[in-house]
Amino acid sequence: MAQWGMMNQSSEDASVSRGRNARGLPDTLKWAGGRDGCLRLVDQTLLPGRVEIRSCTTVEEVWEAIRGLRVRGAPAIGVAASYGLCLGTRGTRHEATEVFRQKLRAVGEYLCAARPTAVNLGWAIARVTRVAEAAGDISAERIWDGLLAEADAIAREDADTCRRIGEVGAILVPDGGGVLTHCNAGALATVAYGTALSVLYAAHEQGRRFRVFADETRPLLQGARLTAFELDAAGIDVTVICDSAAASLMASGQVQLVVVGADRIAANGDTANKIGTYSVAVAARQHEIPFYVAAPRSTFDLSLADGTGIPIEQRPEEEVRGGFGLDVVPPGVRCYNPAFDVTPSALITGIITEAGLISPVSTERIARLVNDAG
């Protein structure tokens, strides 16, 4: 039973800077303690009932946190993996440089396998690994320091990127209107601000008045638990609905904008995001409601021509069968539990990135914008 009386954070958390994450929440994830430090992250499986900070001191703990959705959201797991590389290679930093580089590659492969769909995971690992590869013939210890600096840079840039996404997208939020979002693409899915929710935070700061409908987002209820929590903490009017109510809500005229995040965007704009996003996109098209994706450029995977190549993570049936500590599906009956679906670009009005809005969505526009110097 969620304990509403226990919203106080763990005592450890007193030292957590609220810094850029000024939404009344602790930082989603943050490296603490310098070279011998650890990755501290909010355990999102316990939200909103309990705000608990978890300290990861080994790469295995980071892997488990990613796999177990303690940290989730494409940008956040990219940052977590960057620090995971630091933790996984820290014990090797006094070895020979080549031994260190081999270890780094092995740790990278290990982390990359934690979850298959979000491309930011592989993107961040590749970026940190490049630092080591390019460092030349210096000591492992100095390379390691470079890794930590690069992970810090990724984290810093993520917050800046997200803030910029909000600035780019805010104008799309209809004053006096209703906005529907699915899953959580907020501060809890990134270092700060979020992607889809950054758009709403920015619009709110600009004084626009709007009402948000958050799909609860079965099976793990990131909408009910996380999006509602974040938006409410920020003073934004939010109402939770069952995922299945989104289409009829649109039919009732209460939704003027849909904005969601993304886990991977193919070269043509086809977008993998939390299961149910496609259903929302189909309904939005039926009602001629603009449907926007908000994502940093690191979420694009230009190696895939379209969405058919995006690997879709299958999660355990138990998340559907008994995700609430109850078994509701009769034993012997199977459950099908894909974590993501792919929304074809034809249903996407535009993609909001830190470098500008891509609308209409086309392979050419995407290539131009993503390849632009960041």
Residue ranges binding a second copy (CB under 8 A): 1-2, 4, 48-49, 182, 213, 215-219, 221, 224-225, 228-229, 232, 238-249, 251, 275-276, 278-279, 282-283, 285-286, 320-321, 324-338, 341-342
Placement of tokens 């810090």 in the chain = 152
Q: Which is nearer to a second copy, 136 or 332 (CB)?
A: 332
The conformational region for residue 115 under phi > 0 = left, psi -120 to 50 = alpha, else beta, is beta
Task: Name the one residue in this structure whose structure tokens are 């590659």.
Answer: 105
* Identity of the residue, 89 or 256, whose beta carbon is nearer to a second copy in the bound complex: 256
State the nearest-atom distance from the C-beta of 27 to a second copy, in Å: 19
Contact 363, 268 (CB under 8 A): yes
The DSSP output letter for 177 is E
Token representation of residue 22: 């000024």
Given 263, 270, 301, 341, the catalytic residue: 263
What's the CA gap between 280 and 276, in Å, rounded? 6
Does an H or E element contain 39, and which?
strand 38-42
Question: Minimum distance from CB of 350 to a second copy (Å)?
Answer: 20
- Do 74 and 189 contact (CB within 8 A), yes or no? yes
CB atoms within 10 A of CB 271: 31
Task: Pick between residue 134 and residue 326 the one whose CB is nearest to a second copy.
Answer: 326
The question of whether 237 is a catalytic residue gets the answer no
Residue 337 beta carbon to a second copy: minimum distance, rounded to whole angstroms: 7
Residue 296, SS3? coil
**Alpha carbon distance 292, 352 (integer Å):** 7
The three-state secondary structure class of 317 is coil
Laid out side by side, the sheet with 264-266 consists of 300-301, 264-266, 271-274, 340-343
- 33 neighbors 81 (Cβ within 8 angstroms): no
Q: Shortest Cβ distance from residue 187 to a second copy (Å)?
A: 15
Give the chain's end-to-end CA distance (angstroms, integer): 45
Q: Are strands 238-241 and 210-215 parallel, antiparallel or unpaired?
A: parallel
The answer to whether residues 213 and 241 touch, using CB atoms and an 8 Å cutoff, is yes
Contact 127, 154 (CB under 8 A): yes
In whole angstroms, the minimum distance from the beta carbon of 275 to a second copy comes to: 5
Q: What is the distance between the alpha carbons of residues 23 and 44, in angstroms, rounded to a whole number?
A: 16
Task: Provide the minimum distance between the beta carbon of 278 and a second copy in the complex, in angstroms, as a whole number.
Answer: 5
Cα–Cα distance, 273 to 342 (Å, whole number): 7
Least distance (Å) between residue 9 CB and a second copy = 15
Catalytic residue numbers read 263
